[in-house]
Amino acid sequence: MFEASISPAIMNIVSMFYTREEQPLRMCVFLAFNGVATMVGALLGYGLGHADSPHIKTWQLIFLVIGLVNFVWAWVFLWVMPDSPATAKFLTHKQRIVAIDRIAGNMIGVKTKTFERGQALEAVLDVKVHCLALIGLACGVINGGVSNFASSLVRGFGFSGIYATLLQLPTGAIEFVVVPLCGLAAGYFKNTRCMILAFICLPPLAGLIGIRLTPLSKRWSLVGCTWLQYIVGAPVILSWNLLTTNIAGHTKRSTANGLWFVFYAAGNIAGANLFFAREAPRYFSALTGLCICYGSMVVIAAFLYVWMWAENKKRDRVYGVGEHETAIEDGFRNQTDKQAKHFRYAL
């Protein structure tokens, strides 16, 4: 329950410290360390799984070790990490001004503690928010299914329980490498976020088709197809970046972030219920559902690209091109992307 606050907080912090071009890589590095956590968790599970004590059960020992690490780091984070450039203790007054000036070009303004109902309502009715929330739902379904049943899939391919846990190591490595590469590409090539999001859905979709069609005798091929499902972190982080760069107005952005995570959480619940024990080891119903999710994300990303591109062209035609300074001023007046006529969407 408390873990749910981490990702929305990181999204807001990154959007307040880094420019539009810098955000994709930073966010991807953040999520990529989920891959490191997967690898460390697999090693801990494998190592502590061999512990034999009459005083404590193995699963209790694992929870205590991971819980202690989180507890200690939470205090370090609370002491060191500022919530905006204006409160950064490690910056001088001049450096804080420079930091705020750097992110002025994002056209989304700075943090405010005032809740505005109109902005919240605008977020609920915004087509972009609907599209990104649906992507969040699809990502949640995939994550809920894969995170809960990847080990079951691997065991069904003929690997023992504790060895199946160890086989999660490559999944972490894949996430750690692929997710930052997507962020690097999105930051380097202008207006490619939607296209990269759609493209990165294709390898795991191919992996699902591979699990469906590959004979059970080819167990390493099946495991490889399962590993591809851990690329889901890339569309997750790219949809976060589309949220932070294309939603202006602090209340609207916070509401949109909250809606994304509500849909993502709902997807996790649904994804865990797509796997039926009677369909082991291939879980045909689940594979069909996950394929639909990946296909939907490709279609939604393409639609979102076209919609924002058309809106940018319309605003250029009506309000003119090159009003960058006006857009910055609109952002600092806490106007939303809809209200700020000189705001331009990052595709």
User: In this structure, is the dihedral angle defined by the CA atoms of residues 172, 177, 178 and 181, taken in order, positive or negative?
Assistant: positive
What integer best gives the mean pLDDT of the chain?
83
Nearest-angstrom CA–CA distance, 214 and 23: 39
With cut-offs at 50, 70 and 90, classify the pLDDT of residue 332.
low
124, 260 contact by CB (below 8 A): no
CA distance 232 to 235: 6
Q: Are 331 and 106 spatial neighbours (Cβ–Cβ below 8 Å)?
A: yes
Q: How confident is the model at residue 333 (pLDDT cuts 50, 70, 90)?
A: low
Q: Which of 34, 30, 10 is nearest to 175 (CA)?
A: 34
Q: Look at residues 197, 244, 172 and name the one whose alpha carbon lies nearest to residue 26.
A: 244
Confidence of residue 89 (pLDDT cuts 50, 70, 90): confident
Which residue is associated with the tokens 């999944």? 171
The 3-state DSSP class for residue 232 equals helix
What number is the average pLDDT over the span 61-75?
A: 89
Question: Which stretches within the chain are classed as H helix?
Answer: 6-17, 23-48, 58-80, 93-103, 117-125, 127-156, 161-166, 169-188, 193-200, 202-213, 219-227, 233-246, 250-272, 284-319, 324-332
Residue 300 has pLDDT above 90, yes or no: yes
Average pLDDT of the segment spanning 151-176: 74
Residue 315 pLDDT > 80: yes
* Separation between Cα atoms, residue 192 and residue 181, nearest integer Å: 13
Q: Establish whether the linkage from the previous residue to 24 is cis, with ω within 30° of 0.
A: no
Identify the CA nearest to 332 among candidates 343, 345, 321. 343
Would you say residue 198 has pLDDT above 90? yes
Please give the pLDDT value at position 13: 82
DSSP track, 39-93 = HHHHHHHHHHTT---SSS-HHHHHHHHHHHHHHHHHHHHHHH--SSGGG-TTS-H
Q: pLDDT at residue 164 above 90?
A: no
pLDDT at 299 over 90: yes
Where do we find the tokens 């899939």?
153
Contacts 24+ apart (CB under 8 A), 304-312: 304/128, 304/131, 304/132, 304/194, 304/242, 305/194, 305/195, 305/347, 307/127, 307/128, 307/131, 308/128, 308/194, 308/246, 308/345, 308/347, 309/345, 309/347, 311/345, 312/344, 312/345, 312/347
Confidence of residue 71 (pLDDT cuts 50, 70, 90): very high
Query: Which of 48-62, 260-274, 290-304 shows the lowest mean pLDDT across its residues?
Result: 48-62
Say which CATH topology domain 2-332 has: Growth Hormone; Chain: A; (1.20.1250)
In angstroms, rounded to a whole number, what is the distance separating the alpha carbons of residues 108 and 332? 7
Mean pLDDT, to the nearest integer, of 30-42? 82
Rounded average pLDDT over 265-283: 83
Confidence of residue 138 (pLDDT cuts 50, 70, 90): very high
Q: How many CB atoms lie within 10 A of CB 219?
A: 16
Residue-wise pLDDT for 94-131, tens only, equals 888 888 777 766 655 555 667 788 888 998 999 999 99
User: What's this model's pTM, rounded to 2 decimal places?
Assistant: 0.80
Q: Residue 253 pLDDT more than 60? A: yes
Residues 70-87: what's their mean pLDDT? Answer: 87
pLDDT recorded at residue 194: 92
Cβ–Cβ under 8 Å, residues 228 and 312: no
Q: Looking at residues 205-229, what average pLDDT do you find?
A: 85
Stretch 47-55: mean pLDDT, rounded?
A: 77
Residue type, 138: A
